[in-house]
Amino acid sequence: MQMNLDFSKVKPLDEMVGKNKQETASSQAFAEEAMDYLNEFSWLTGIKNAYFGIGLGDIFAVFLFEIDPADEEADDFVWVVVGDIPPAYITCENAPNPATALDGYIDAMALWAEAALAGKSVDTLIPVPVPATKEAGLDLQSRLEFLSEHVLSLYEADLKVAPSTHTTHSR
């Protein structure tokens, strides 16, 4: 599938540098976490290239990976969101840049949080590696609100380039 990815919004991992040594170390640790997470899936045989998109210190990071798909149905590129939030991968179909990938992540995780808060089943929603309790829903909702207010608000122009519906996946 042809992707309309905006590579001007990402940097190769070897060019990833934070504002200070601690931020760079956090980003590098997140990159390793994202690669480990991605390598758990059977629909890829390896990672060809890795790019840093956006992140915030030791809170979260969004990465773009070019992969060796294990079958022809898998895409060649996938976003991965990791950090002090549940990990997930996001298809690139409606996410041409890191901000749209994060927006899709927030949308999918918000559905899980709402269901957990309402005591509803989360079986058909994005998997989150904790029990779907009211407390877990509130915690995730709080983190997502922080990302929306303090991160996505900085990327309004980037968010206008893609439809608001995103395809998001996780474990």
Number of other CB atoms surrounding residue 103 within 10 Å: 25
Total-model pTM: 0.90
CB 126 within 8 A of CB 111: yes
User: What are the tens digits of pLDDT across the range 135-151?
Assistant: 999 999 999 999 999 99
pLDDT value of residue 3: 60
| Residue 104 main-chain phi, psi, to 5 deg | -65, -40
163 pLDDT band (50/70/90 cuts)? Answer: low
pLDDT higher for 169 or 158?
158
pLDDT value of residue 140: 97
CB 127 within 8 A of CB 171: yes
User: What are the tens digits of pLDDT across the range 66-107?
Assistant: 999 998 888 899 999 999 999 999 999 889 999 999 999 999
**Can you give the residue ranges of every domain in the chain?**
7-169
Distance CA 99, CA 140 (A): 19
For the chain, the average pLDDT equals 91
Contacts of 49 (CB under 8 A, 6+ apart): 12, 65, 66
